[in-house]
Structure 1
Amino acid sequence: MISCNSKVKTLSVEVFETSETGNKLSKITEFKNSGEKVSIKLNPEETFQTITGFGGAFTESSAYLLNTLSKENRKKIIEAYFSKEGANYSLTRTHMNSCDFSLSNYSYTPVEGDKNLEHFTIEEDKDDLIPFIKDALAASTDGFKIFGSPWTAAPWMKDNNKWVGGKLLPEYYDTWALFFSKYVDAYKAEGIDIWGFTVENEPLGNGNNWESMHYTPDEMTNFVQNHLGPKLETDGKGDLKILGYDQNREHLKEWIDSQFKNAEASKYFDGTAIHWYASTFEVFPEELQYAHNKAPSKLLIQSEACVDAQVPVWRDDAWYWKKEATDWGWDWAPEKDKYLHPKYAPVNRYARDIIGCLNNWVDGWVDWNMVLDTKGGPNWFKNWCIAPVIVNPDTDEVYFTPLYYTMAHFSKYIRPEAKIIALEKSDDKLMATAAQNPDGSIAVVLFNESKSLKTINLSLNENNVEFSIDAQAIQTVVIQ
């Protein structure tokens, strides 16, 4: 370490870096000195939100792929995500009934007109999803939270009698509330505790492509206030978290206004879930700040993100640092919104968005699929996407992309119940966030998107330290 001033004590830190030059969460002990210097001052006395966690989603597609691999590679991936030596994921999501990243359409309520759900069954999950979750729990020392998200009720409960689109018929509101309660019991019987739910994945729909069910903000508030919340309370499950909305940030305000319009409406909402697909470039800080200010005691969790509409690039780390990837909006967004969907490097998308979210009151950030194949599936709708881990089941090969290491920079070092703390920095182009963990350690995550190395002078109280961050690099600096 280089001390920049002999009159002050040198801060003792560990530095871990992932970079375009090839570092992969590598511990760095020798640093170059550059002319471009940045000062960062930490202020742990000023705190913001408490962290719920970081992680990814258990999907049938990922679970199916793990079943096709050798036992060694299956174990390697699960430990890489969930062990203390790996990314140590702490917050996860899964789908209730099928979703696009399932092998087919299915429901836990297959019998039409079964209002009391006497034929409710999670049999579909027992050969892939449930073993994946149980193996992840076994690999995790600290454990992790799981929240479920339905993409749709069974077609027989909906006004269009289809998997895609349509609305829940009012006569089935109580049945659908019962569905959530039965899901918790069924998973509990398998040894899996559910932490909470989002009410509906993407209630605004997805362009009539795959499983979906529509709500307006007030319809969702009504369902939660008068059906789901009271049902869970009556069944002794009032501690389960209920997260509203669960779609893109540009519409966040109207959902927040409905959920938290008064005490009766907000009683059962523990928070709000958001996605990034309105733009994987723009964080929407105003909307996030609005959500926090409207309901400062409630959770604000990024529940899904991925580089979508893109087939994975296999074993080419450099690609994940280049502005080659597009998203759905590159081709399909209206002309007025095209500026929100530029070509953008996948690593930069993740690093920028997570830091931007943490600096705007978001307390949890959950990636989408943990494992996909070289086509970006399997996906029954052929909605190909990228995951941090790509596998080739034909050859039993595994590729940990740079996105895996990017996620680990946060999940491994910023633990649940950590508090985001204030910092000041002299360079607006260097992205930075910091959190103090329950054990007192501080994790500072830096992202240098520029093409030049920067020298960092980091200070805490009367102590400081100098080190450098490579060009095109993400770093986690740990202060014990």
Structure 2
Amino acid sequence: MKVIRYSSILFLVFMLMSCAEKQEQLEVQVYETSASGNKLTPIKDFSVSENASKIVLNPEKEYQTITGFGGAFTEASAYLLNKLSKENRTKIINAYFSSEGANYSLTRTHMNSCDFSVSNYSYTPVVGDKNLEHFTIEEDKDDLIPFIKDAMAASADGFKIFGSPWTAAPWMKDNNKWVGGKLLPEYYDAWALFFSKYVDAYKAEGIDIWGFTVENEPLGNGNNWESMHYSPDEMTNFVVNHLGPKLEADGKGDLKILGYDQNREHLKEWVDSQYKNDETSKYFDGTAIHWYASTFEVFPEELQYAHNKAPNKLLIQSEACVDAETPVWKDDAWYFKKEATDWGFTWAPEKDKHLHPKYAPVNRYARDIIGCLNNWVDGWVDWNMVLDTKGGPNWFKNWCIAPVIVDPDKDEVYFTPLYYTMAHFSKYIRPDAKVIDIKNTDEALMVTAAKNPDGSIAVVVFNEGDTAKNFDLSLNDKTIQIKISEKALQTILIPKP
């Protein structure tokens, strides 16, 4: 009798322990993109390892608020979409903007032409037209505006869009050219009016503009394509004394103004100028940055400096691409290989060569986005959404790679691994999410996490190495062991409790 009672007690204890263990299991959804062929593929079965590392989430400790993720509406992309069949055009737009697709939430476009335009053009074609009475966005109505409007129709959640000028019309500049030169002081007010009229013109087309960067790459681009130069203090002067007051006077004071808009290595001198005092800070809502100083190095010290200088201001990565390359067509493996180079591999001075190694395209995107999120960046925007097999069209022949490549002559579409890499972030980390604290015991894994407004948590893990890895993911008192493939990116979605 005693034996029976003792056995019954053991059985009861065993059952209670089993139930407790089940309650401790963290419920997750796992999606993986990998060199082995996964493309946002749901992963459900994991082998267990005793050598698993640990990733511990601490949602109580929050960092920056997410503005969004996305890409740029360029004339090049819009032009190509119009050359495709209606079926493929719709397929691409839905892939980027629908909730079933990447669900882009933050986008950029160019004001006047840029290198990824079919030709040079300006909204202010009449020389000396200081009042901009002949302002027109007619050039955008065939390709660019239809692309934006179709994206709006495909997006259930909507998205923010900010404009960036590459240059004013040549007649407003001291060199009277599309490339280089500076805005003449006598046209500062006309140029501020240009921004206000742009908002009105797009509003008339049914498109709301969220904000602007003041100037794309104010340090110049080697005098190759559309550009206009500012020093940090010149841009601050233009914003504080012209652009900001003009938008405010026109009832557009809620539009976001982002300063700088170029590479991170010079970030300190620009935020020092923008946020020198309350007067200079007043009209700047944040700072925009690019990654071309290095698509390998994140520049965490510069990003942290910018955040600490103005903790309540936005810090948005506004442009990135694998440049100086023509796309590799329908060869997913190439995008995971360390064969791609950027402009600096050939052209950077010797002291900067280490910043421009041969590096896998997927690795560039995954490492940079995670690195940015872990260093106070709140938005990350890719460059062209669609390019052709040559890496264009681009009037300067400044070729690069986009996440989606098309062959308009054959009406074929290729979703590269870069598309899925972007979707790992844009689809699962939503606007107004809060980046949260994590502890990660494996330095070979890059990890970031954010808590969404609906209470779900998205964890993104990147394994750059050549071997698969196991890790225990813990939240509060619940844990699950997950295996990530070699050369793989995972998003782990933890539903709202």
Give me the TM-score of the superposition, normalised by structure 2. 0.95
- Gaps (5+ residues) in structure 2? 1-17
Question: Match of 2:152, SS?
Answer: helix
Deviations 1:424-455 (A, max 9, x none): 01101100000000000000000000111111
Q: How does 1:218-233 map to 2 (within 5 A)?
A: 218-233=233-248
Residue identity matched to 2:456: S
**Partners of 1:43 and 1:347 in 2: how far apart?**
28
1:325 matched to 2:350: no
| Equivalent pair of 1:54/1:366 in contact (CA under 8 Å) | yes
Match of 1:397 in 2: 412
Match of 1:84 in 2: 99
Deviation at 1:475, TM superposition (A): 0.2
**Partners of 2:23 and 2:32 in 1: how far apart?**
26
**Partners of 1:83 and 1:91 in 2: how far apart?**
13
Question: Match of 1:68, SS?
Answer: coil
Match of 1:264 in 2: 279
- Of residues 334, 338, 358, the one that matches 2:373 is 358
Residue identity matched to 2:285: D
Q: How does 1:244-323 map to 2 (within 5 A)?
A: 244-323=259-338
**Partners of 1:34 and 1:151 in 2: how far apart?**
53
**Partners of 2:48 and 2:79 in 1: how far apart?**
48
Question: Match of 1:6, SS?
Answer: helix
| Equivalent pair of 1:44/1:422 in contact (CA under 8 Å) | yes
| Equivalent pair of 1:373/1:391 in contact (CA under 8 Å) | yes
Deviation at 1:32, TM superposition (A): 3.0
- Of residues 326, 339, 342, the one that matches 2:354 is 339
**Partners of 1:122 and 1:35 in 2: how far apart?**
62
Question: Match of 1:115, SS?
Answer: coil
Match of 1:210 in 2: 225
- Of residues 432, 435, 443, the one that matches 1:420 is 435
Larger-gyration structure (1/2)? 2
- Of residues 29, 42, 45, the one that matches 1:30 is 45
- Of residues 151, 154, 167, the one that matches 2:166 is 151
Sequence identity (%): 82
Deviation at 1:33, TM superposition (A): 3.5
Match of 1:105 in 2: 120
**Partners of 1:393 and 1:104 in 2: how far apart?**
19
| Equivalent pair of 2:25/2:479 in contact (CA under 8 Å) | yes
**Partners of 1:79 and 1:425 in 2: how far apart?**
35
**Partners of 2:323 and 2:366 in 1: how far apart?**
16
Question: Match of 2:369, SS?
Answer: helix
Match of 2:10 in 1: none
- Of residues 471, 481, 484, the one that matches 1:456 is 471
| Equivalent pair of 1:184/1:193 in contact (CA under 8 Å) | yes
Question: Match of 2:189, SS?
Answer: helix
| Equivalent pair of 1:36/1:454 in contact (CA under 8 Å) | no
Match of 1:196 in 2: 211
Deviation at 1:6, TM superposition (A): 3.0
Deviation at 1:408, TM superposition (A): 0.1
**Partners of 1:476 and 1:189 in 2: how far apart?**
39
1:468 matched to 2:467: no
Deviation at 1:37, TM superposition (A): 1.4
**Partners of 1:232 and 1:318 in 2: how far apart?**
48
**Partners of 1:163 and 1:181 in 2: how far apart?**
22
**Partners of 2:485 and 2:352 in 1: how far apart?**
33
Match of 1:164 in 2: 179
**Partners of 1:11 and 1:230 in 2: how far apart?**
52
| Equivalent pair of 1:36/1:453 in contact (CA under 8 Å) | no
Q: How many equivalent residue pairs?
A: 477
Residue identity matched to 1:469: I
Question: Match of 1:192, SS?
Answer: coil
Deviation at 1:356, TM superposition (A): 0.1
**Partners of 1:112 and 1:30 in 2: how far apart?**
66
Deviations 1:209-236 (A, max 9, x none): 0000000000000000000000000000
Q: CA RMSD in A?
A: 0.9
Question: Match of 1:185, SS?
Answer: helix
Residue identity matched to 1:392: D
1:177 matched to 2:175: no
Match of 1:242 in 2: 257
Match of 1:367 in 2: 382
Match of 2:129 in 1: 114
- Gaps (5+ residues) in structure 1? none
Match of 1:55 in 2: 70
**Partners of 1:33 and 1:174 in 2: how far apart?**
65
Give me the TM-score of the superposition, normalised by structure 1. 0.99
| Equivalent pair of 1:352/1:431 in contact (CA under 8 Å) | yes
Match of 2:202 in 1: 187
**Partners of 1:466 and 1:30 in 2: how far apart?**
10
Higher alpha-carbon deviation: 368-377 or 5-14? 5-14
**Partners of 1:35 and 1:419 in 2: how far apart?**
32
| Equivalent pair of 2:48/2:481 in contact (CA under 8 Å) | no
Match of 1:478 in 2: 493
Residue identity matched to 1:116: N
Deviations 1:3-31 (A, max 9, x none): 9x938610100000000000000111112
Question: Match of 1:181, SS?
Answer: helix
1:71 matched to 2:52: no
Match of 2:455 in 1: 440
Residue identity matched to 1:374: T
Deviation at 1:36, TM superposition (A): 4.4
| Equivalent pair of 1:20/1:318 in contact (CA under 8 Å) | yes
| Equivalent pair of 2:26/2:479 in contact (CA under 8 Å) | yes
Question: Match of 1:39, SS?
Answer: strand
